[in-house]
């Protein structure tokens, strides 16, 4: 018989449905993204703290998002800038440690610097680790890890490479694998979100769009998680 906690240690959320939410409310697409940044992220972090979740990873920008219209991409970058200023201090005061996964090198220098500032400022916080997946794609992450490992090891050494050693070279090397993946927005796929790390994650899909996914909806996902029995292949 398997045993588990009713509360996941690590939750990942694929933040989907912002543009559809904006259209439904007769707003421009960026206002959906802005609403999530200003109104959704902090309450979700607060509820995670209250429920005992220790890690929350939010997929905010994928490697494919660069292919959107230039105006939307520029708008998203500006939301990241203002979001860092607005949310960074609030989250810091709540004891939240900030982190990132993904390849930040493609972002403008001021965003990289701003993100690193809050990573450094919040490094000693322990109530929740909130990770933003920025310019993140699962295949890209794995490919970068392979390049790092092959550059660091002789071919003969690679024969003895373990899964644990490979995991350490991923962007999420210092994080536990997600116990629960939530995807709002109605789609039922992972779209390349943490493919290595999610092999035993529980999946929760909902038609609710991300701007409407608040603490109460998170509670519903946690209730469903508590009903699951995880055997991890045993």
Residue range 36-57, pLDDT digits in tens:
999 999 999 999 999 999 999 9
pLDDT above 80: residue 229: yes
pLDDT in the model for residue 1: 33
Q: Which positions are annotated as active-site residues?
A: 16, 65
pLDDT above 50: residue 3: no
Burial bucket for residue 21 (CB in 10 Å: 0-12, 13-18, 19+): buried
Instruction: Count H helices and E strands in the chain, helices first.
Output: 9, 6
Three-state DSSP at 96 gives: strand
| Domain boundaries of the chain, sorted by first residue | 10-136+177-227
User: Can you say how many angstroms the Cα of residue 115 is from the centroid of all Cα atoms in its chain?
Assistant: 15
Residue 85: pLDDT band with limits 50, 70, 90: confident
Task: Work out the mean pLDDT of the chain and round it to a whole number.
Answer: 95
User: Is-contact 12 225, C-beta < 8 A?
Assistant: no
pLDDT above 80: residue 234: no
Beta strand spans in 69-148 (E):
96-101, 128-136
Superfamily of domain 10-136+177-227: Decaprenyl diphosphate synthase-like (3.40.1180.10)
User: Is-contact 18 35, C-beta < 8 A?
Assistant: yes
pLDDT in the model for residue 213: 98
């Amino acid at each position: 018989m398997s045993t588990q906690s009713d509360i996941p240690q690590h939750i990942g959320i694929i933040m989907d449905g912002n543009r559809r939410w904006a259209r439904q409310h007769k707003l421009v697409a960026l206002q959906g993204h802005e609403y999530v940044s200003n109104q959704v992220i902090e309450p979700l972090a607060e509820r995670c703290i209250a429920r005992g979740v220790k890690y929350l990873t939010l997929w905010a920008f994928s490697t494919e998002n660069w292919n959107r219209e230039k105006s939307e991409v520029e708008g998203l970058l500006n939301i990241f800038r203002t979001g860092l200023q607005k949310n960074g201090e609030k989250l810091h005061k709540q004891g939240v440690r900030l982190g990132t996964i993904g390849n930040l090198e493609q972002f403008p220098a001021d965003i990289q610097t701003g993100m690193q500032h809050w990573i450094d400022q919040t490094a000693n916080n322990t109530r929740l680790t909130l990770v933003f997946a920025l310019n993140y794609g699962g295949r890209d992450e794995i490919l970068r890890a392979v390049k790092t490992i092959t550059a660091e090891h002789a071919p003969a050494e690679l024969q003895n490479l373990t899964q644990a050693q490979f995991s350490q070279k991923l962007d999420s090397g210092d994080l536990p694998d997600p116990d629960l993946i939530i995807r709002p927005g109605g789609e039922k796929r992972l779209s390349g979100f943490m493919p290595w790390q999610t092999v035993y994650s529980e999946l929760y899909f909902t038609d609710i769009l991300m701007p409407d996914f608040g603490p109460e909806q998170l509670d519903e996902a946690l209730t469903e998680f508590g009903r699951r029995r995880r055997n991890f292949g045993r």
